[in-house]
Homo-oligomer: A and B are copies of this chain.
């Protein structure tokens, strides 16, 4: 049974059995990371509906090469390529604060590999921190189904460490247990990350001038 979450995606009517095309079996790659993304989109819709925050995932950047304009119907993109994003995936506004974050998953059980992040995302988060934004990453250990919110300032420490010490290309689970904020799945919102953000604000870690 396909469950259609209210995740902002357009509803595609179910295809009749007879018309169904055979799908390739190796769909794991394209689904990689979808679960965390779905949960976050769902949470953002909940927050938006409740009037608590306005947070959106940015669209995937695409380089469009060729577009057809058929008469009396919608423009069709016939050739395009995925581009690397220059920012993180999520941003928005909450109680006057600018929120900016990235979400990543790993199948590892002991540590979170830093190769999940790219230099341009690190640079973007640094720039946002300089502008007094509240920046963080949401990390999920898929096999353990554990969720952490790690502040960008702490991520930067681990990021820089990998260039100084050998064999430290990841953040250990123990380090996250100590330095990040563990979050637990809920019903609505499914990932209640604003509770951690409230804590960050109250801790005066992020003073707005």
**Contact in complex: A131, B75 (CB < 8 Å):** no
**Contact in complex: B63, A62 (CB < 8 Å):** no
Complex Cα distance A58/B98, Å? 16
Known contacts A59-B60, A59-B61, A130-B51, A98 near B87 by CB under 8 Å: no
**Contact in complex: B208, A96 (CB < 8 Å):** yes
CB within 8 A of A79: which of B78, B81, B128? B78
How many copies of the polypeptide does the oligomer hold?
A: 2
Q: Which parts of A111-131 form the interface with B (CB within 8 Å)?
A: 124, 127-128, 130-131
Q: Which parts of A58-96 form the interface with B (CB within 8 Å)?
A: 58-63, 74-83, 85-87, 91-96
Complex Cα distance A54/B127, Å? 7
A121 to chain B, nearest CB (A): 13
The size class of the interface chain A forms with chain B is: 35 or more
A42 at the binding interface (Cβ < 8 Å): no
**Contact in complex: A59, B56 (CB < 8 Å):** no
CB within 8 A of A97: which of B58, B80, B98? B98
A-side interface residues toward B, CB under 8 Å?
Answer: 8, 10, 48, 51, 53-54, 56, 58-63, 74-83, 85-87, 91-98, 100, 124, 127-128, 130-133, 208-209
